[in-house]
Amino acid sequence: MLPWVAFSLSACHSDNEAQKIIDQSIAAHGGALFQQAKISFDFRDRHYEIFKSPDRFRYVRSFSDESGKVVDVLDNEGFERKVDGNPVGLTEKDENAYSNSVNSVAYFAFLPYGLNDAAVIKQYLGETKLEGEEYHLIKVTFEQEGGGEDHEDEFLYWINKQDYKMDYLAYTYHTDGGGIRFRKAINTHDVSGILLQDYDNYKPEDERLPVESMQELFESGELELLSKILLENIEVELIQ
């Protein structure tokens, strides 16, 4: 048993408990409203428009650079980039890089919505305490089929036992050389009943560590504050 987990459960009970907690967390952050909302925001000098229903999604990123007005669209049909309204031919490497970048911003902005996608595997690790609050600790991995290029990534989510908000998360990633991060929610935006969060983004000195080590390192002050994840000019359009 890991030292920061209060108890362990059988695999079946663990999965059922994790599902119940994730459902409650999604509801606390906006629930079904996510399925009928087009959410827009600015993040690091780029504008995003995000829509995700159970069977359709459309993520749009727009910005200007030396080439002109760039618009990236990732949806069920694939990825397309236009510059000043004209489609741009891309190498497979660039298309994958741009797609992953857009998808990553959408994924993190919408959390915990998305954790009921078909490829998600949820495991309840038990209870823990962090900065004076009690949490349910959920581990998420992904099926290879349907899990995308990032199916080997691992996530931990700290779900507050009182209000079921997702206050912390940690994850490993394998793109761009790989690494590990820990995020702490520092501000919650409540827009039309949907909660979106800003984060402090931390990293350890050794990025080869297991994701389960992040809470202990955070509590002992051994993580470096790498950046702040700030969503600005948030707007929510509810689609009937």
| DSSP sequence for 193-218 | TEEEEEEEEEEES-TTS-GGGHHHHH
CATH topology (fold) of 11-238: outer membrane lipoprotein receptor (LolB), chain A (2.50.20)
Contact 90, 81 (CB under 8 A): yes
Does residue 1 carry a pLDDT above 60? no
pLDDT in the model for residue 237: 92
pLDDT, tens digit, for every residue of 4-23? Answer: 444 444 555 568 899 999 99
**Amino acid occupying residue 84:** D
> pTM of the full predicted structure?
0.89
> What is the rounded CA–CA span in Å between residue 85 and residue 81?
9
In sequence order, the 6+-apart residues with CB closer than 8 A to the CB of 177 are: none
Does residue 69 carry a pLDDT above 70? yes
Which of 140, 135, 221 lies closest to 173 in space, CA to CA? 140
Give the CA angle between residues 87, 93, 94 to the nearest 5°: 40
Split at pLDDT 50, 70, 90, the class of 142 is: confident
Proportion of the chain above pLDDT 70, given as a percent: 90
